Structure 1
Amino acid sequence: MTAVRATVRTVLGDIPPDGLGVTDAHDHLFLRSPLLAGQELDDVAAARAELGAFRAAGGEAVVQWTPYGMGRRAAELPGVSRAAGVHVVCATGLHQAGHYAEETLAALRGRLAEVFVAELTKGIGTSGVRAGLVKVAGGFHALDAHARWTMTAAAEAHHATGAPVAVHLEQGTAAPDVLDLLCGALEVPPHRVILGHLNRFPDPVLHQQAARTGCWLAFDGPSRAQHATDWRMPEAVRALADAGFGGQLLLGGDTVTAGARSVNGGPGMPYLLRRVRPRLAAGLGEELTDRVLRENPARAFAVEWA
């Protein structure tokens, strides 16, 4: 019998984990939401240029967390990836209810897990591009009915495929509730859960409580200047590494508006490597920083696909 090998599912096909390279573990090339009207990421040429700038800064892979119904433009992703020479992993999943029209959500009732599984295994729409993770979202210090619905569907999709489940923590909160639901009641293994935006709620006790479960800890959004907690991110990462959790850390840029792109004068994707990486290396050392950018995402997003 042939052994099943873990692979990372990119928009150009499955690759071995060690082929991923230096990775922005949470970002966006395309994104559209009524909550960000007028700030859409929907320009293909700009996406290609931004990915090229990330490549020029030393980047080799980007994980796009844009989920279902938020302008992923899956059909454009292979060309953008190929032109820039950067691996791209895209997501299925569902964000908070406020990002969708009610009729969109109504059409998904009773079939959400089925949609997630189809996008992971068959492809997104007619694009032929398969998603490599499921992205869902919690609420501010709590989980509402919508979050529980989407996370239940995400867990079903994980059990059917093995895909990791990445969670937007609203302002970095509700991690215990997310873990209780996903890893407790829904039995998703903690090493298949990625908690996003922990930098927005720099509580070292909460961070270590989450880390002890074995989940992934993503500090994703250092390029967003409106987050007053960003200056504490290196301190929080160092504390987790010192406590023995360096093997569970991920870093990302989370560029969500056109104005935040480097090609439009913002920090964008390159900021992660141009500014954040050397700052972390000064505190963590080059070896651990490189591990967080290379080895950790290779393990976090590698799946023995069912």
Structure 2
Amino acid sequence: MSTVRTVLGDLPPERLGVCDAHDHVFFGSPQLPGQELRDAASARAELAAFRAQGGASVVQWTPYGLGRRVADLPIVSQDTGVHVVAATGLHQAAHYAPEVLTALRGRLAELFVTELTRGIGTTGVRAGLIKVAGGFHALDAHARWTMTAAAEAHHATGAPIAVHLELGTGALDVLDLLCGESGVPPHRVILGHLNRAPDPVVHRQAAEAGAYLAFDGPSRAHHATDWRMPEAVRALAEAGFGHRLLLGGDTTTAAARSVDGGPGMPYLLRRVRPRLELALGRELVERVFTENPGRAFSVEWT
């Protein structure tokens, strides 16, 4: 039976409820100094605020080495009643010290599999997805290394692979590598940040290939293309790809959290959802928030 692997255990997909399909409960990177999401009380308050808007689950795309605070995830999930899915994986090289990456050479796929099946560190909390990243309009050697390891881990476990697309670019190159070269079924690939490069032709090609398309990041104030997101989502839905759409907030800085004065996780349901209902209708938007994440993140775990 297919289940979604949350930090409190495996869950039938229909119990996922209204899902923020790409966000961060905890996150920290040297690329964002002083903006770390590492306070458990703040995380608890943010999840509670999301819950108050009708949210039921959050998929955290924070990968290895970027402040996942895995031991805290079950606690804040239990306290707020919000299901949380944790990630394994590796981000772009710029987010890590060189010695960290050197230490992972030759064992990256093994690390991913261990964190998916046995647990992250000594916590016993198992990851429910693999998160990797591409580059701007290209895949460098680091991206190819991490994606190849992610494909190997997918074949060992069935886990979905979520991909950070730099400024929304490189989607087709990612699919060529993961699905063409590495044999990952397209419906096991989730392409993130497509709202940042609203190219309808690329969106349509990625959807036709069978991948999930994540439109995320309304908490990021500098995304000049956010206003085009409803139009892009409507075009895909009208072309018959409503079942491939996912929505997320992608809160990556303390300043972006609602409890610190930003839009945060609640904004996805407080403002984005009603805006999309005008473009798509309430019934389809409900399926995008519930049924689609249930399919995208559920796995017959091996």
TM over 0.5: yes
Structure 2 equivalent of residue 168 of structure 1: 164
**What is the deviation of 1:223?**
2.0
1:227 paired with 2:223, answer yes
Scaled by the length of structure 1, the TM-score of the pair is: 0.98
1:65 paired with 2:49, answer no
Structure 2 equivalent of residue 20 of structure 1: 16
Structure 1 equivalent of residue 270 of structure 2: 274
The residue type paired with residue 267 of structure 1 is P
* Counterpart-to-counterpart distance in 2, 1:32 and 1:101: 13
* Counterpart-to-counterpart distance in 2, 1:274 and 1:198: 21
| Runs of 4 or more above 2 Å deviation | none
* Counterpart-to-counterpart distance in 2, 1:222 and 1:198: 12
Structure 1 equivalent of residue 281 of structure 2: 285
SS at match of 1:143: coil
Structure 2: which 5+ residue stretches go unaligned?
Answer: none
**What is the deviation of 1:164?**
0.1
The residue type paired with residue 216 of structure 2 is D
1:34 paired with 2:30, answer yes
Structure 1 equivalent of residue 72 of structure 2: 76
Query: What is the total number of aligned residue pairs between the two structures?
Result: 302
The residue type paired with residue 218 of structure 2 is P
- Pairing partner for 1:300 from 272, 288, 296: 296
Scaled by the length of structure 2, the TM-score of the pair is: 1.00
Instruction: Report Cα offsets for 1:225-262 as digits up to 9, x if no partner.
Output: 21000000000000000000000000000000000000
SS at match of 1:63: strand
Instruction: Report Cα offsets for 1:6-46 as digits up to 9, x if no partner.
Output: 00000000010100000000000111110001100000000
- Pairing partner for 1:86 from 82, 89, 94: 82
Structure 2 equivalent of residue 183 of structure 1: 179
1:46 paired with 2:42, answer yes
Identity %: 78
Q: What are the residue-to-residue correspondences of 1:138-217 with 2, within 5 Å?
A: 138-217=134-213
**What is the deviation of 1:214?**
0.5
* Counterpart-to-counterpart distance in 1, 2:177 and 2:285: 31
* Counterpart-to-counterpart distance in 2, 1:291 and 1:221: 20
The residue type paired with residue 42 of structure 1 is R
SS at match of 2:264: coil
Instruction: Report Cα offsets for 1:32-64 as digits up to 9, x if no partner.
Output: 110001100000000000000000010000000
* Counterpart-to-counterpart distance in 2, 1:67 and 1:124: 11
Structure 1 equivalent of residue 6 of structure 2: 10
* Counterpart-to-counterpart distance in 2, 1:98 and 1:223: 22
* Counterpart-to-counterpart distance in 2, 1:205 and 1:32: 34
Structure 1: which 5+ residue stretches go unaligned?
Answer: none
